[in-house]
Homo-oligomer: A and B are copies of this chain.
Amino acid sequence: MKQFEQKLEKYAELAVKIGVNIQKDQTLVVNAPISSADFVRLVAKKAYDAGAKNVHVEWNDDELTRLKYDMAPFEAFKEAPVWKAKGYEEMAENGAAFMTIKSTDPELLKGVDPEKIAAANKAAGQAMDTFRSYIQSDKVSWLVISAPSKSWAAKVFPDAAEEEQEAKLWEAMFEATRVNTDDPVAAWEQHDQNLREKAAFLTEKQYKQLAFKAPGTDLKIDLPTGHIWLGGGGPNQDGVHFVANMPTEEVFTAPSKDGVNGTVRNTKPLNYGGNTIDGFTLTFENGKVVDYSAEVGGDTLKHLLDTDEGARRLGEVALVPHSSPISQSGILFYNTLYDENASNHIALGSAYSTCLKDGAKMSKEELSKNGLNTSITHVDFMIGSREMDIDGVLEDGTTEAIFRDGEWAI
């Protein structure tokens, strides 16, 4: 237990120092479930130790969320607290850093009316539109990190004894986030550099198209002129280096919103708003999903695709070798933050403006003109496997191998 406390403290330190990289006199905004209170207090302590001026925590509770879905009338889901969204904007404009701690049971919303979920996501997406644009353009430092909850741990380790499930999930997280190394901060600095080098190499190449081949998948994704590959951390608009996801194993960029053609099949279940979508296929023509099918959660997939115009187009393409630590652990986390770092993936919805040269300074209209998708949603799903090959097509039509059998070929 003593050892657990030490690991938890190191994890909090990574979140504060490598993740948001808190600066002296900065405010840290933490979004967290009340069940993660012990970890949140450690994060706050580390942040104040590092010179933070204030740690502002916005708490949430899965049980109340579920109670609301079960008992509140439909009208309640069409509203979101706009004043709170404005508060987030204001804190961002004043230079705060933002940390979100996620521990949601992947089955939290099982059986809930998908219309309610879609309405709630839409209302929240619209309210948080400006704040989301701040995050996606890296105006401020931000981090998404996870912490176990009882019910989530039970889903990941159904065969373990009940009192051991949470500890096992913590241990899997410590392993995946390099907390178990001798010097986690140094390990992250090295890892971060590797990812950034890979991204720089791909950006330099300026492939005009990526071609994905795997069982069930034959997909061609055009990349916009001036696209930028990102991986690991990057600077916020004040030049402070931060790492937005822990763990992170991906190198990613923005697809051309009108240049996606062919069919893709997912390789890991997608958890969307608490519901599972699996065994699904999407067919694209000129960027848009024109056909789809799903063995599980077809209705949820339909609602996702109908969120708005941009929800039927891609906003991200991300490369992760099949040998990544999370993939090697063999654990299915039922959590995008972890599972996306096990596998190549793409995302429906908005693109990150930082994936385009000078994109962070562009309006939505300009981004769209340059080929980047906009939407109130952004949902990653896994398409990688040991059987996936990816080719890059250069400006002159030459083809180069980027991935072979699920591994980097460059």
Contact = CB atoms under 8 A, between A and B. Distances in A.
Contacts of A45: 67, 71
Contacts of A48: 67-68, 71-72
Total copies of the chain: 2
A287 to B, nearest CB: 38
Interface residues of A, number: 33
Most buried by B among A34, A49, A55: A34
Interface string A70-108: 011101100101011011001000000000000000000
Given A83-B90, A90-B83, A53 B41 contact: no
A305 interface: no
A61 interface: yes
B55 A68 contact: yes
A89 to B, nearest CB: 9
Contacts of A59: 34, 59, 61
A224 B185 CA distance: 67
Contacts of A182: none
Nearest to A57: B64
Contact of A81 (B53, B63, B87): B87
Interface string A6-43: 00000000000000000001000000001001001100
Given A37-B34, A37-B61, A61-B37, A81 B56 contact: yes
Nearest to A90: B83
Provide the main secondary structure of the chain A interface. helix
Contacts of A41: 61, 63-64, 67
A154 interface: no
B25 A73 contact: yes
A140 interface: no
A83 B81 contact: no
A54 B37 contact: no
Nearest to A81: B87
A70 to B, nearest CB: 8
A44 interface: yes
Nearest to A67: B44
A49 B87 CA distance: 31
A61 B67 contact: no
Given A41-B67, A53-B76, A87-B87, 6 more contacts: A25-B73, A37-B61, A40-B61, A48-B67, A52-B72, A55-B72
8 contacts: A40-B61, A44-B68, A45-B67, A52-B72, A56-B81, A59-B59, A84-B84, A86-B86
Interface of A: 25, 34, 37, 40-41, 44-45, 48-49, 52-57, 59, 61, 63-64, 67-68, 71-73, 75-76, 79, 81, 83-84, 86-87, 90
CB-CB nearest 5 A-B residue pairs: A83-B87, A48-B71, A59-B59, A34-B34, A54-B76
